[in-house]
Chain A
Amino acid sequence: MNTNMSDYRQCETTKKFVCLDAQRFIKLNAVSAVVFLLVGGIAAILLALTRWQTVHLLDAEWFYRILTAHGLNMLIFWILFIEMAILYFVSTSLLNSRLFSKGLGWISFALMIVGAVMTNGIIFAGEADVLMTSYLPLVAHPLFYLGIILFAVGALVGVGNFFGTIYIARRDKTYKGSMPLVTFGATAAAIIAVVALLHGAVALVPTFTYSLGLTPEPDPGWYRLIWWGLGHMSQQVNVCAMVAVWYFLATMTTGAKAPNEAVCRSAFVLYVLFINLASAHHLLVDPGVGAEWKIWNTSYAMYLAVLASMIHGFTVPASVEIGMRLKGYTRGLFDWLLKAPWKNPGFSAFFLSLVIFGFIGGITGVTLGTQQINIIAHNTLRIPGHFHATVVGGTTLAFMGLTYYVIPLIFQKDYVGRSWARVQPYLFASGIVLMSIGMSFAGSEGVARRTWDIDAAGIYGATTHMFLGMVGIGGILAFCGVLLFVVLAVATLFFGESNEGRPMKCWGVPEVIADLSKTDGSVATADDNAEHDHDHKHDTRGTMVIVVVFLLAFAVYYFANWGALADVWWVR
Chain B
Amino acid sequence: MSIEPPPKNWFQAPTGHERVWLGMAIVWCLIMSLMMPLWHFKGKQNSTGESYIVEPQDFLERTEQFVDANKVGTKEGRPVAEPPPGGDAYLVARMYDWYPVLQLREGETYRLHVSSMDIQHGFSLQPMNMNFHVMPGYDHVLTVTPTKSGTYTIVCNEFCGIGHHAMIGKLIVK
Contact = CB atoms under 8 A, between A and B. Distances in A.
Most buried by B among A176, A219, A259, A372: A372
Interface in B81-95: none
A532 B94 CA distance: 72
A219 B46 contact: no
Interface in A173-228: 175-182, 219-221
A293 B48 CA distance: 9
Interface stretch (A111-119, A229-237, A547-555): A547-555
Contact of B17 (A318, A451, A456): A318
Interface in B1-60: 1-8, 10-18, 20-22, 24-26, 28-30, 32-33, 35-37, 39-40, 43-51
A430 interface: no
B168 to A, nearest CB: 5
B122 A378 contact: yes
Contacts of A453: 165-166
Given A247-B2, A290-B49, A569-B145, A307 B29 contact: yes
B137 interface: yes
A379 B14 contact: no
B2 A551 contact: no
B131 A291 contact: no
A311 B45 CA distance: 32
B124 interface: yes
Nearest to A453: B165
B49 A287 contact: yes
Interface residues of B, number: 85
B102 to A, nearest CB: 13
A548 B28 CA distance: 12
A540 B2 contact: no
A544 B162 CA distance: 51
Q: Is the interface of B mostly helix, strand, loop or mixed?
A: mixed
- Interface size class, chain A: 35 or more
A421 B92 CA distance: 54
Contacts, number: 311
Contacts of B20: 544
Contacts of B103: none
A446 B156 CA distance: 11
Interface in A69-126: 94
Given A247-B2, A372-B36, A379-B157, A540 B18 contact: yes
Contacts of A304: 29
A186 to B, nearest CB: 11
A319 interface: yes
A540 B15 CA distance: 11
26 contacts: A136-B119, A138-B120, A182-B3, A220-B120, A221-B138, A257-B1, A260-B18, A264-B2, A286-B47, A287-B133, A288-B49, A299-B36, A310-B29, A311-B25, A370-B32, A371-B39, A372-B36, A372-B39, A372-B40, A374-B47, A379-B131, A448-B157, A459-B127, A565-B43, A569-B145, A570-B144
Interface of A: 14, 60-61, 64, 94, 129, 131, 135-138, 175-182, 219-221, 247-248, 250-252, 256-264, 283-291, 293-295, 298-300, 303-304, 306-307, 310-311, 314-315, 318-319, 366, 370-372, 374-380, 444-446, 448-454, 456-459, 524-529, 538, 540-541, 543-544, 547-548, 551, 554-555, 558, 562, 565-566, 568-572
Interface of B: 1-8, 10-18, 20-22, 24-26, 28-30, 32-33, 35-37, 39-40, 43-51, 109, 118-120, 122, 124-148, 153, 155-159, 161-166, 168
User: Which 10 residue pairs spanning A and B have beta carbons closest together?
Assistant: A287-B51, A448-B157, A287-B140, A299-B33, A181-B2, A570-B145, A247-B2, A379-B157, A310-B25, A453-B165
